Structure 1
Amino acid sequence: MGYKPVYDYRADQLGRQGGTQGAILVEGRWYCPSMPEPLITATIDLHAERIDRETWVRLIAARRGYRLMPKQNADDEGYQRMMCPADAGKAQCSIKQHTMGRGIHLPLIDPEPSPVGPLKVCR
């Protein structure tokens, strides 16, 4: 029937799972490399009882501003091009000056300076 089972992540699969081209994979979604650490570790902190459930819900909701957005549907091999959250209108980033000044309701992404320039995901 085409259904695929979906399971919860194990405790050792929470938080940062990997990355590519500077983008980070956190609990199954791709995010901006400048996402604050408390947002990355929110579920780990909930399970370790360092934060309460209300704080966890707030932190998970705050991740939205850092989420990479799809540019197109996945191709036949499963590859999908993604867009920076600042270009998608979900954040403001100092690398992309045209995204600045969109309002205080959007997160301000402040990438770490690098002598070789911005990460590929930020270009």
Structure 2
Amino acid sequence: MALRLTTKVFQPMRILGVRAMSGDMGSGAGKGGGSGGSIRDAGGSFGKMEAAHEEQYFRKLRDEQLKAFKKNVDEQKDFHEDEIRKHQEAIARHKKQLTKLDEVDGSDSN
């Protein structure tokens, strides 16, 4: 009976050791419980190559999204700078009109 109990205690540790060795990308099924496809399940060179292609695809996609985001932010910055310039010109124009009105108002009071 003691021998059986000992065997049950050590079985989970043996399983953990096997899982730790299959952690390399492309070396078999993923940790998420799902399959990575028949090529990745087989492991070996093709599985690693497929994993590398997948990583390259997502890295390229992320770079494209980042580039598009930066472009969008740059366009927004340019738009707001243009709006600031237009508002500053309008402020200057209104100040000039107020100055003219003050001159006209001042000359009538004499």
User: Which TM-score tier does this pair reach, normalised by the shorter chain?
Assistant: under 0.3
Higher gyration radius (CA): 2
* Structure with greater contact order relative to length (CA < 8 Å, sep ≥ 6): 1
